[in-house]
Structure 1
């Protein structure tokens, strides 16, 4: 069933994060037109329409060289999405970890953002400033991240793609000082929590990139299990009243063998792709059902390319994505992006001349959509998307000198 009261993120602007030299901007809306091609079937979903000419993306990718800010960018977007859509506090352990990591890079220990969103047929901006002045001072009782200032603004004008990001078009609807005496509003909870009735879900960026553990409870459907391993006959993880978890597993070609024990034992019996797939898929299904956002870092880890393309297809088909859910992921392999029908939903992270990170939109540099996106990126058509030849050559020469040196 289509949900018309979902909150839709349109744009995030972040100021004060020293990782970026200037303001960091990430658009969730289209910059190119949305048209069905001759090859699209009736169920194809390029982007989700919220107003004439304004669509939100259903697939978004971040790609770039190592150490250009992909993971940090995803972490920031995931944290802000949880704060705005789920009412998470700044000091929630998963949120605090993200901001604490950025603490040395925060200018004057402050970080601010504008979150443009669409809710119940109206356009809003949430302007927030957070501070970490006392976070390292254990002597201060209420040390931690806090909201220093917040305003919620509503747009009074007709919004188009072109004026969406013009702050002057919005007027103040709610100021944090107006609710400062509310005993239920804590210093680390956004005033957006006063908005009731948000629909949608968030599958936040977790630790699955480097930590792959079986984290589901229940019996996965056979149809889902066989996407990742068709040899599995039965698989379940259960939790008793004392909170102890146990698992059971049997295979079609070894029916005499049944594993029963800790879920950690599944790591020795199932592939990494099966473990990760069955861990993340319940969250993906929930977001597809309700609408919302899924964040996955390094999506290529543990998965066959066809499995990843199957994930993409879940978001680009109205039958499985009726509410405009969005998958936002990072990848080191731009070949995955060759299956993308659009080019305005790809962001590239790179280093500028002063070695600051920046995040640029692929479509701002490349006009033609028929070009292989992987070729454009790997051939450094957009400067900063491939390793410098001289760096690679210098590394090769150094290694050559070591391996050919006499002695051990």
Structure 2
């Protein structure tokens, strides 16, 4: 498992909504590593993050960033087609460029992809496709410093989409990436997402969760199981010291019996198991939703624990609550979204680039608006209070 694929950096160019049409998101540990348990070692002084966080106020672009991260990772890991992956196609435009740096085994790769966008038709709707792609490859051993990781200037081109033989192109769909060719017969880390469940807290699992999984979120639960019979889902719930067993057939009824936090907890833990086993990636939008603060700490601690997280699985999450950042030991794995004051485009900033000090709590930095745009403005709050005063006789 040590040679499983690791994403190193994702870059977008010509992307609507974002400032200057681009952003970059790195999974490399750029700052000094004082405690190797906090990160996953690829080789010598090269480490990837086990936790990455996005923080920002409402409507600052956190979910859009997560969707684009999910898309890029899925191109490499999910072997899915552009038009079958679950994300918002409106985030891309014709001539959007995606660059993904990743490593596998003893090699490091850089994938350049140019996306095409076709006008919607009655039968298919808007279609995306790969206009051109280039794949570069170099030995991991050639990297002598962190500065070398993303440099492929002297590297020979390994694959180019437009130069593939016609018979090879015949097997490659217009919305499949050429990276599929190097992923054949390889164990690929899992890429899991709860983005679509942010506002829809439905139980995803089938079967019988163990008591350890159930009772950390609800100590009164003895049993929770679900099954599908004739395209209809059925839930079975039993509480401790209660002889009655409940059988319900709707999510509404289930939510009346157990808490939203318990449901979300089961969903997250099911996916955590998948990514821990493969060194994969789990993306969660608004991690704190329905969750007690200590349960959030528990989840982040799972990924930080090198006894449990043996293969460098990574949790990528967004949050409104800056206090959660105080659970994180590093600064370079925190990103901030905010709106540009001139054109309201989305900006993505790395916390470590903005704040050099280590002796202040991260939550204090965010909530104080030290990095402008990370907290609601005083003027907006005051205007709201004045408005409400004017409405009260």
TM-score, structure 2 normalization: 0.93
Q: Contact (CA 8 Å) 1:246, 1:262: kept in 2 or not? A: yes
CA separation of 1:247 and 1:389: change in aligned 2, threshold 3 A: same
Q: Contact (CA 8 Å) 1:293, 1:327: kept in 2 or not? A: yes
Q: Which residue is 2:27 aligned to? A: 28
Q: Contact (CA 8 Å) 1:75, 1:205: kept in 2 or not? A: no
Partner Cα distance (2:298, 2:126) in 1: 45
Given the alignment, which residue of 164, 169, 186 partners 2:173? 186
Q: Contact (CA 8 Å) 2:276, 2:309: kept in 1 or not? A: yes
Partner Cα distance (2:278, 2:340) in 1: 39
Given the alignment, which residue of 354, 363, 369 partners 2:352? 363
Q: Contact (CA 8 Å) 1:235, 1:248: kept in 2 or not? A: yes
Q: Contact (CA 8 Å) 2:71, 2:85: kept in 1 or not? A: no
Q: Secondary structure at the match of 1:344?
A: coil
Q: Secondary structure at the match of 1:328?
A: strand
For structure 1, which segment, 227-236 or 197-206, has the greater mean C-alpha deviation from structure 2 after superposition? 197-206
Q: Contact (CA 8 Å) 1:90, 1:146: kept in 2 or not? A: yes
Deviation at 1:163, TM superposition (A): 2.8
Q: Which residue is 1:262 aligned to? A: 249
- After superposition, where does 1:325-364 map in structure 2 within 5 Å? 325-354=313-342, 355-364=344-353
Q: Please say if 1:129 is aligned against 2:114.
A: yes
Q: Unaligned stretches of 5+ in structure 2?
A: none
Q: Secondary structure at the match of 2:53?
A: strand
Given the alignment, which residue of 115, 130, 135 partners 1:147? 130
Deviation at 1:110, TM superposition (A): 2.5
Partner Cα distance (2:67, 2:138) in 1: 28
Deviation at 1:159, TM superposition (A): 5.0
Partner Cα distance (2:116, 2:97) in 1: 9
Given the alignment, which residue of 12, 15, 18 partners 1:14? 12
Q: Please say if 1:64 is aligned against 2:56.
A: yes
Q: Which residue is 2:391 aligned to? A: 402
Partner Cα distance (1:169, 1:336) in 2: 42
Deviation at 1:243, TM superposition (A): 3.6
Q: Deviations over 1:74-99 (max 9, x none)?
A: 0110121112111111111514xx22
Partner Cα distance (2:379, 2:277) in 1: 49
Given the alignment, which residue of 194, 208, 213 partners 2:197? 208
Given the alignment, which residue of 137, 142, 158 partners 2:143? 158
Partner Cα distance (2:381, 2:231) in 1: 52
Q: Secondary structure at the match of 1:131?
A: strand
Partner Cα distance (1:309, 1:191) in 2: 39
TM-score, structure 1 normalization: 0.90
Count, aligned residues: 384
Deviation at 1:370, TM superposition (A): 2.8
- After superposition, where does 1:276-295 map in structure 2 within 5 Å? 276-295=264-283
Deviation at 1:368, TM superposition (A): 2.1
Partner Cα distance (1:94, 1:175) in 2: 26
Q: Which residue is 2:38 aligned to? A: 46
Q: Contact (CA 8 Å) 1:124, 1:170: kept in 2 or not? A: no
Q: Contact (CA 8 Å) 1:28, 1:56: kept in 2 or not? A: yes
Q: Deviations over 1:325-353 (max 9, x none)?
A: 00000000010111211111100011223
Deviation at 1:132, TM superposition (A): 0.9
Q: Deviations over 1:202-248 (max 9, x none)?
A: 112432210001111000001110011111122211224x3432221
Partner Cα distance (1:334, 1:247) in 2: 36
Q: Secondary structure at the match of 2:331?
A: coil
Q: Please say if 1:318 is aligned against 2:310.
A: no
CA separation of 1:11 and 1:208: change in aligned 2, threshold 3 A: same
Q: Unaligned stretches of 5+ in structure 1?
A: 37-43
Q: Which residue is 1:77 aligned to? A: 69
CA separation of 1:285 and 1:94: change in aligned 2, threshold 3 A: same
CA separation of 1:180 and 1:92: change in aligned 2, threshold 3 A: farther
Partner Cα distance (1:169, 1:27) in 2: 22
